[in-house]
Copies of this chain bind each other. A is one copy, B any other.
Amino acid sequence: MIDAPRDKPAVQNETARIEAFSDGVFAIAITLLILEIHVPPRAAGLSSTLLALWPSYLAFVASFMTIGVMWLNHHRLFTLIAKNDDGLILFNLVLLLGVTWIPFPTAVLAEHLTGHDQRDAGILYAASFLAIAMVFNLMWRYVVRMRLAIRHVDVAAISKQYLMGPVFYAALVVIALVNAAACLVVSILIALYFALPPSLWRRKDRSARAT
């Protein structure tokens, strides 16, 4: 009808569409967080009820920064992936399931941060991050084992760097046992740590590329 059938460069498209789909899920999950902060009704004084919502604001910032940094690391990881297979797609789906899940423990922790059950809410929150960090590590190991990574990557250094995630979030679970508000503050610090420093594996990657 329009022109003769042509073959498509399927492989390149496939990686691009996984990244685009993942970006979409990250962007939506990070934006849905605001829906969990409920507007105070007209009854009481607005300024005091707005101030009383501080657990919601703190949880919003903590989860926003954490999902944002997870997106960043997901994006960095895919710059290291040259090939794509069904197993990687499945790992990626499980990772996105974890990201999509986050608005729920965030809302639970915001609701219960100043209540009797703050410890349980904090553990649910920290354990959710821990689980996602572990899937991230399993996914990277799968990439290495199936030889899906680009050439000239210092695998040992990156693998070591990726272990920081589970270690930090396991510590966050321990913090949640003590204080749920501290758990939120520390998760913001962890996100800043992962976002800011020129991470080890990126330097390795760049120096490898330069040679």
- B120–A50 contact, CB under 8 A? yes
**In terms of DSSP, what is the predominant structure of the interface of chain A?**
helix
- B32–A34 contact, CB under 8 A? yes
- B34–A108 contact, CB under 8 A? no
Work out how many copies of this chain go into the complex. Answer: 4
Contact with A31, one of B28, B90, B111 (Cβ below 8 angstroms)? B28
- A82–B5 contact, CB under 8 A? yes
Contact with A150, one of B8, B89, B96, B107 (Cβ below 8 angstroms)? B8
A72 to chain B, nearest CB (A): 6
Of the stretches A13-21, A130-138, A154-162, A164-172, the one at the interface is A13-21
A184 to chain B, nearest CB (A): 15
Cα-based distance from A33 to B140 in the complex (angstroms): 27
- A25–B20 contact, CB under 8 A? no
Q: Give A117-138 as 1s and 0s: 1 = Cβ < 8 Å from B's Cβ atoms.
A: 1001100100000000000000
- A25–B25 contact, CB under 8 A? no
Cα-based distance from A112 to B195 in the complex (angstroms): 38
Contact with A39, one of B64, B93, B108 (Cβ below 8 angstroms)? B108
- B197–A86 contact, CB under 8 A? yes
A199 to chain B, nearest CB (A): 8
B-facing residues in A78-102 (Cβ within 8 Å): 79, 82-87, 89-90, 93, 96-97, 100-101
> Which residues on the B side are within 8 Å of A146 (C-beta)?
1
- Whether A149 is near chain B, meaning CB under 8 Å from some CB there, is yes
> Which residues on the B side are within 8 Å of A120 (C-beta)?
46-47, 50
- A83–B3 contact, CB under 8 A? yes
Contact with A104, one of B39, B84, B196 (Cβ below 8 angstroms)? B39
9 contacts between A and B (CB under 8 A): A5-B151, A7-B150, A20-B23, A21-B75, A25-B27, A32-B34, A33-B100, A42-B115, A86-B197
